[in-house]
Chain A
Amino acid sequence: MKTKLTVNGRTHEVDADADTPLLWVLRDHLGLTGTKYGCGIARCGACTVHVDGRAVRSCRQELQTVAATAKITTIETLDQNARGKALQEAWIEHSVPQCGYCQSGFLMAATSLLERTPNPTDAQIDTAISNLCRCGTYPRMHAAIRSAARRLTTSEAP
């Protein structure tokens, strides 16, 4: 089945079964391997992408449920989003990643959090982000998210 899909500002025609999860379309059909497979049951968040600005776990989002008008953003263009870029910089500043495999998903989820809650408390971060990391990079994430939020709210101030 041929489907039109807009990813990172480019429209692709994808030939994949209607039930193919968006994750595998991105990875195997479009070569966007920054989005990771972790569990296939939407529990770990390694596959998180943005669909119309909302964080979505792409391993359980079938191609047929993605609207033809949907705008999909992946980690590969996260730096074009001011919040995403601030988070990437904060992640570097706080040396968050270890193996790095799950970090795309965390950054996509954190960006989505800052869109809704520009200055989250630690408790709000804990509630909003339920992604999994096996290296245990969690202890640095609260500080990294808060420092990105600070930078953004300061730079947005008149």
Chain B
Amino acid sequence: MSSNIRTPMDAAVNATTLTPNGEKPVTEVATQPSRRAFLTTGGTALVLGFVVPRLARAEGLANGIMTPEAASAAGVQLNAFVSIDTAGKVTLMSHRSEMGQGAYSVVPQILAEELEVDIATIAIVVAEGDPQKYGSQLTGGSSTVRGGITQLLKTGATARDMLVRAAATRWNVAPDTCKARLGQVTHTASGRTLGYGALVEDAAKLTPNKDVALKDRKDWTLIGKPIPRADTPLKVNGSARFGIDVRIPGMLFAVVERSPRFVGKVKSFDATKALLVPGVKHVVKTERDVFGKMREGVAVVATSTWAAIKGRRALVVEWDNTGIPEVSSASLTAALKTSLSSKPLNAKTKGDVAAALGATPAVDAIYETPYQAHACMEPINCTAHVTDTAAEIWGPVQAPDWNRGHLAGALKLPMEKVKVNMTFLGGGFGRKAFTDFPLEAALVSRAVKAPVQVVWTREDDLSVGPFRPGAIYHLRGALKDGKISAIEATMAAQNLMEQEPGDTPKKPNDNVTEGLAETYLEMVPNYQFGDVPLVSPVPVMWWRSVYSSTNSFAYESFLDEMARAAKMDPIAFRRQHFDSPRLHALVDKLESVSGWKDRKAGTGYGMSLTYCFSSWAAHVVKVSKAGTGIRIDKVWTVLDCGVAVNPDVIRQQVEGSIVMALGAAVTHEVTFAMGSAVKKNFDTYQLPRLRDIPPIEVHIMENGEPAGGVGEPGLPGLTPALTNAIYDLTGSRIRKLPFDLAKV
């Protein structure tokens, strides 16, 4: 099974039996292909890139799409985003990472739409981290399509226009009498055709037209089609190379004992016994940077991962935990609950909430969510080779540009001496956007003067963090004439931006309403949304859908409680609070596909409506009684993500979001005791399995709205739809996660 995807590890793909023990020499690792290197099939090529919009504006360039020659004349960096060689082969740079979301397929699908080529002919080259060339490379915020679609369409159209003009000149006809399709330009009247490969030399000499007209949406032939993912064949035969699969000649393997108290310092360590383990070569103190503060650890470096793991078991480290608060789950919960009675930092206010709420609000409830780990199936790892003068890393990173900058600064190396290579990511969910683990690997490599792969064990992955913060919400609401007249919402949680001892968050957290369908607020005369930030030694960060993942449980449970207080159907109650035809269409669709109106006795139905990363999601969950607990019979989700580039990839993402939300709702959480996260593995941090998954039916709204996010918006609404369904069936309201489905 072949593939058109080239990652920086491809040279090693053929080296099937390689080993640090020297059983077979390892193929030289491919470095990032230069422009010249990937133009191998043919000769001269048409290369088009775009100057990062921020830099284009600074340089006064009206149109950022240029050929390398023009860029060189203007003295700006170009990213050689797309190239077509004389054999007609198209190569596309992927500057974002592939972490399961289908980036290597959906991005070419958009490009091919305007370039008019067969998508199967597009080869993907994975770019290295370079913010000067690519702008933000952070693969997060569900941004790959919604952030890139316009640039991709324009780049494809501009290249196609140059090829058409080159053909028209060759035939001495007007360009508008020619059509491009499937890698060929045809002169409609005479039927003459020329392949792109035959035209690239001429096309490359033309000046790109500014603002080439883009196709009308109704003329799209690729966008909107469920085109199979190009990376699937690599992922069914073991040949996709993830970070943990990186193999470099002479490399060593390391595991690190990190401070259980998060911010503890190494007082001393005894490596005597560790060094006696066969294969263990070095034991060195190391550190990694978590939000600007160094976290310490001791690395055991060996000739194999297993030797390193055994060595670490024999290592003795004494930690200095002076002044570190001894947190536990109970102390964190108590602190968060106490916070709720403090005056919040208000992010959004309108009207007179206190007066509208009066003495007896219709709903007064507290909703609790736990800390969670990302638990990517590929544990955190990174391979680094650092010398006195240069650094190179290979790893599953969501933000290669951030890593490059961070490494250059921390290692005191010039940017051009730092190379960041992205591999496939075995899941990311926000965790792999963090730059702590590549820096840690780099520091270990520098200390032992060899290439080193640092692997986090599953226990490390689940207990070191950063975690999704647990958040507790206090919500109060008043009704007038069956509608919401007031909402008072206070969130107590660690603020992702200012979270550590010494930080004193003063600014309100605008994300307190993330996930909430803010359209509601236009209809609500009085509201107040604020937060009380908690500072603790526990490191926290984004987890798939970020604040929405906890906010939506609170808000959509609250809205259900308000609907019940108003003695109204939950869907009808919500409909009163928005005007948007787009939202009404979404909710109508949800109501019809789920059979909401034909609910039978003995079943519980719950719904939710959420907004996350520019997309709307509406869920219905159906439950019934099973033994002493609850069985989830079915989930219906309707997603409105505007332009839906690849419906099958979108369905995958929504299905996955539902499964991930389900685990966080009913089975797993990170807990703390005596200052540390309780050590867990998959026996105690239980993810859903095949047998736990209800039937899931995903519908995608079709409209011409701008593209919204896909990777995350399906997650936040599942849990409240589930708990609302349980209330519908049993009358018991779940306000604390996780809960046990068997004991509802």
Contact = CB atoms under 8 A, between A and B. Distances in A.
Interface of A: 12, 15-17, 20-21, 24, 27-41, 43-44, 46, 74-76, 78-79, 88, 91-92, 95-104, 107, 125-127, 129-142
A57 to B, nearest CB: 12
A43 B16 CA distance: 27
Contacts of A107: 236
A135 B683 contact: no
B427 A31 contact: no
Dominant secondary structure of chain A at its interface with chain B: loop
A18 to B, nearest CB: 11
Specify which of A32, A35, A43, A136 lies most central, judged by the most chain B CB atoms within 10 Å of its CB.
Answer: A136
A75 B228 CA distance: 22
Interface string B145-176: 00000000000000000000000000000000
B306 A136 contact: no
Q: Which 9 A-B pairs have the closest CB atoms?
A: A34-B238, A136-B659, A100-B235, A101-B426, A99-B100, A136-B656, A98-B100, A75-B238, A126-B691
Interface string B239-274: 111101101000001000000000000000000000
B278 interface: yes
A31 B682 contact: no
B181 interface: no
Nearest to B239: A34
Given A97-B236, A99-B100, 19 more contacts: A12-B17, A27-B245, A30-B23, A31-B18, A38-B682, A40-B309, A92-B236, A95-B649, A99-B376, A100-B236, A101-B377, A126-B690, A133-B687, A136-B660, A136-B688, A137-B656, A138-B688, A139-B693, A139-B696
B656 A40 contact: no
A91 to B, nearest CB: 5
Contacts of B428: 99
Given A75-B238, A141-B690, A99 B426 contact: yes
Nearest to B656: A136
Interface in B586-617: none
B234 interface: yes
A153 B265 CA distance: 62
B378 interface: yes
Interface of B: 15-21, 23-24, 99-102, 228-229, 231-242, 244-245, 247, 253, 278-279, 304-307, 309-310, 375-379, 424-429, 455, 457-458, 648-649, 652-653, 655-660, 681-683, 687-691, 693, 695-696
Contacts of A141: 690
Dominant secondary structure of chain B at its interface with chain A: loop
A155 to B, nearest CB: 19
Nearest to A33: B245
A100 B304 contact: no
Contacts of B232: 91-92, 95-97, 100
Contacts of B653: 98
Contacts of A138: 655, 659, 688-690, 693
A27 B305 contact: yes
B455 A37 contact: yes
Contact of A40 (B100, B102, B241, B457): B457
Nearest to A125: B690
14 contacts: A17-B307, A38-B379, A97-B231, A98-B656, A99-B428, A100-B236, A100-B426, A103-B236, A104-B238, A131-B690, A135-B656, A139-B659, A139-B693, A139-B696
Contacts of A32: 16-17, 238
B251 to A, nearest CB: 10
Nearest to B105: A95
Specify which of B238, B245, B429 lies most central, judged by the most chain A CB atoms within 10 Å of its CB.
Answer: B238
A129 B21 CA distance: 35
A38 B377 contact: yes
Nearest to B376: A134
Nearest to B24: A31
Contact of A28 (B304, B379, B457, B660): B304
Given A33-B247, A134-B377, A74 B238 contact: yes
